[in-house]
């Protein structure tokens, strides 16, 4: 069995308020553990692991009950929907910079299967709408019958995404959609002629030296393992491998990956049902597609996510940066871009937020704003990024509206504020325990505590 290596990175800094928040959440117990990283003014001011990535008595890599594993700062997490930002949105905007796509182009012009019946309503859906979750397409595909369970079926997943019905009028309502980003990932593959995982590895992750970041498709695993349906597991009885091909990933990595949850997808049909997922993407649709989708599938560490965030901040500020997009493109990416956006929306939202904080503060959680979004019904989205919607709680109460971030269902969040040159990353496996609450409340409190410790915005 591969042994877990010592952390390659040291812990950095200490913000007592954050330590208290995370330890209280672990004790509740709301989650087994977490890694928090805070960057400010070009420096990592906090990088800490808390709790455990695997609890005592749960199966170890060999499937037998094993002692607890401490949460180390180099723990690899299933980033879930952070994939939409780190991989898919960045890739689409690279195509935009090359003039290969335009934001208000119709989806059907690139992927005719999206509107094979020439429906005049579907014909209105644009790339901008997909990137801002305003296309009207439904949320996800995981409940559309028993497909891709005994073996991955990427082609069927793409077909289902491209033919998913519209549930709302295009361009009018914010409705978060995994399906839209599966379509965007398909668009990247169609235009580049490369699998999405290979494209983003070469064009996004490698340029940023994100060495612990990648998709983990079951078809490219190397080393002692077994495949149960669409899930990868370490196999102590399998023969070792002398050398892994360049485009593969090694089961040595499994020892550093945080288990997400028990596989509860479709009892009776799923060969992996009831076993812990470790190194297999939790998202059911991405897993059924083989582990690579525009909506989910990327695994990474807090340090690598911080490299992405810091390079983005540097590029936005005009400092030297390896970020693989131009500054003007990042300005589009990180400002309101939903259909009907206009410059006054940020100012109005911040004014509403300040009034609400002054008049009706959130007494249940003083580290959170009274409401998200600040103006009911005004949902602000960048290209990929969240700015001010019901998903914006990781912003906390100090960072202004106009900062931006994203969440991931497994328990991961990233929030970035160019105004103070700060980012806050919280990576956890909250769904490890059945019924674990969303990470957004904790991560929003962590963001507020970080901003207060740094003295930002007069806090």
**Residue ranges covered by each domain of the chain:** 1-82+213-459, 83-205
Q: Which residues of the chain have pLDDT under 50?
A: 1-6
- Whether residue 423 contacts residue 403, with contact meaning beta carbons closer than 8 Å, is answered with no
User: What local confidence, expressed as pLDDT, does residue 7 receive?
Assistant: 54
CATH topology of domain 83-205: Beta-lactamase (3.40.710)
pLDDT on residue 199: 98
Q: What is the DSSP string of 266-315?
A: -TTT-TTTTSBPSSS-S-HHHHHTTS--SSS-EEE-HHHHHHHHHHHHHH
Q: Nearest-CA neighbor of 105 among 166, 203, 184, 197?
A: 184
**pTM score:** 0.96
Q: What is the pLDDT of residue 8?
A: 66
* Residues 447, 236: Cα–Cα separation, whole Å: 41
**Do the domains 83-205 and 1-82+213-459 match in fold?**
yes
pLDDT digits over 237-294, tens only?
A: 888 888 889 899 999 999 999 999 999 989 999 999 999 999 999 999 999 999 999 9
Class of domain 1-82+213-459 as given by CATH:
alpha beta
Spell out a b/e string for 279-316, using b for 16 or more CB atoms within 10 Å of the CB, else e. bbbbbbbbbbbbbbbbbbbbbbbbbbbbbbbbbbbbbb
Query: Could you read off the pLDDT of 281-321 as tens digits, one per residue?
Result: 999 999 999 999 999 999 999 999 999 999 999 999 999 99
Q: Residue 23 has which token pair?
A: 């330890």
Report the pLDDT value the prediction gives residue 182, as an integer from 0 to 100: 98
**Secondary structure element (H or E) that encloses residue 51, with its range:** strand 43-54
Is residue 116 exposed (0-12), middle (13-18) or buried (19+ Cβ within 10 Å)?
Answer: exposed
3-class DSSP state for residue 114?
helix
pLDDT of residue 143: 62
| pLDDT score for 4 | 46
- 232, 123 in Cβ contact below 8 A? no
Supply 37's token pair. Answer: 């990283």
Summarize the chain as % helix, strand, coil (round to 5). Answer: 35, 15, 50
């Amino acid at each position: 069995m591969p042994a877990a290596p010592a952390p390659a990175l040291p812990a950095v800094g200490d913000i007592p308020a954050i330590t208290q928040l995370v330890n209280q959440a672990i004790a509740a117990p709301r989650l087994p553990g977490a890694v928090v990283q805070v960057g400010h003014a070009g420096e990592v001011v906090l990088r800490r692991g808390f709790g455990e990535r695997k609890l005592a008595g749960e199966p170890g890599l060999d499937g037998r009950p094993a002692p607890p594993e401490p949460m180390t700062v180099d723990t690899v997490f299933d980033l879930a929907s952070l994939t939409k930002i780190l991989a898919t949105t960045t890739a689409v905007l690279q195509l935009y910079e090359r003039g290969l796509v335009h934001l208000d182009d119709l989806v059907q012009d690139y992927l005719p299967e999206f509107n094979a019946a020439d429906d005049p309503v579907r014909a209105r859906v644009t790339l901008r709408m997909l990137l801002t979750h305003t296309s009207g397409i439904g949320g996800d595909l995981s409940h559309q019958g028993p497909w891709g369970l005994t073996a991955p079926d990427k082609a069927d997943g793409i077909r289902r995404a491209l033919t998913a019905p519209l549930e709302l009028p295009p361009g009018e309502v914010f409705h978060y959609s995994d399906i839209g980003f599966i379509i965007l990932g398909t668009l990247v593959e169609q235009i580049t002629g490369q699998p999405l995982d290979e494209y983003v590895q070469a064009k996004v992750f490698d340029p940023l030296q994100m060495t612990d970041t990648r998709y983990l498709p079951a078809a490219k695993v190397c080393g002692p393992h077994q495949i149960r349906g669409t899930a990868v597991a370490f196999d102590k009885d399998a023969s070792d491998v002398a050398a892994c091909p360049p485009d593969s990933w090694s089961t040595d990595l499994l020892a550093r990956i945080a288990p997400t949850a028990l596989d509860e997808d479709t009892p009776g049909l799923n060969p992996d049902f009831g076993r812990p997922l470790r190194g297999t993407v939790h998202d059911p649709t991405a897993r059924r597609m083989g582990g690579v989708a525009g909506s989910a599938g990327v695994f990474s560490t807090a340090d690598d996510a911080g490299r992405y965030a810091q390079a983005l901040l540097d590029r936005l500020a005009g400092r030297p940066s390896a970020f693989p997009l131009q500054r003007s493109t990042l300005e589009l990416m990180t400002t309101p871009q939903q259909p009907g956006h206009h410059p006054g929306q940020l100012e109005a939202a911040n004014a509403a937020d300040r009034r609400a904080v002054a008049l009706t503060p959130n007494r249940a959680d003083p580290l959170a704003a009274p409401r998200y979004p600040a103006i009911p019904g005004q949902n602000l989205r960048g290209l990929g990024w969240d700015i001010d919607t019901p998903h914006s709680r990781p912003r906390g109460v100090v960072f202004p509206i106009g900062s931006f971030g994203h969440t991931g269902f497994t328990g991961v969040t990233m929030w970035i504020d160019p105004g103070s040159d700060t980012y806050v990353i919280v990576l956890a496996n909250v769904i490890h325990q059945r019924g674990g609450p969303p990470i957004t409340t904790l991560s929003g409190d962590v963001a507020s505590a970080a901003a207060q410790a740094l003295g930002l915005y007069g806090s």
